[in-house]
């Protein structure tokens, strides 16, 4: 379990993860905010559906993939939280934009 250092201060921002409100500090990455909030898995694997969570926190492992504001394959550890951001777990391997029949791209 991860916790914030007690001396961490900053402007609070709020965003949604799976429809639930999460509080973060300005400057947090999405991954850090989710770990601090105890949100658990950020994605599931394409083959077995196993849960995965952020690991390297520096853009190397890709375990932190999420959907942000409707855009899949975003690395949560490299993206700063913003007020009102909508984040969802990435389930499996989403196709490229325009691949799905109902995708308007
Ligand atoms: S946690 Fe490894 S790429 Fe984001």
Give residue 99's pLDDT: 59
Lowest mean pLDDT among 47-51, 81-85, 88-92, 100-104: 100-104
Cα dihedral 4, 65, 81, 7, rounded to 10, equals: 10
> pLDDT band at 96, cuts 50/70/90?
low
SS3 for 13? strand
pTM of the model: 0.86
Residues flanking ligand 1, CB < 6 Å:
31, 54-57, 59-64, 75, 77
Best probe residue, ligand 1, of 32, 39, 58 (max atoms within 8 Å of C-beta): 58
**Number of alpha carbons in the 13 Å side-chain half-sphere of residue 27:** 4
Q: Is the dihedral of CA 2, 16, 96, 80 positive or negative?
A: negative
Distance separating alpha carbons of residues 19 and 97, to the nearest angstrom: 23
């Amino acid at each position: 379990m991860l916790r914030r250092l007690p001396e961490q201060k900053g402007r609070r921002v709020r965003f949604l993860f799976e429809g639930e409100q999460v509080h973060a500090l300005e400057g947090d990455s999405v991954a850090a905010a989710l770990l601090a909030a105890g949100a658990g898995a950020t994605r599931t694997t394409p083959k077995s559906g196993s849960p995965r969570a952020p690991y390297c926190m520096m853009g190397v492992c890709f375990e932190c993939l999420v959907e942000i504001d409707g855009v899949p394959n975003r690395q949560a550890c490299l993206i700063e939280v913003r007020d009102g951001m909508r984040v969802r777990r990435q389930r499996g391997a989403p196709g490229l934009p325009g691949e799905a029949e109902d995708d308007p791209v």
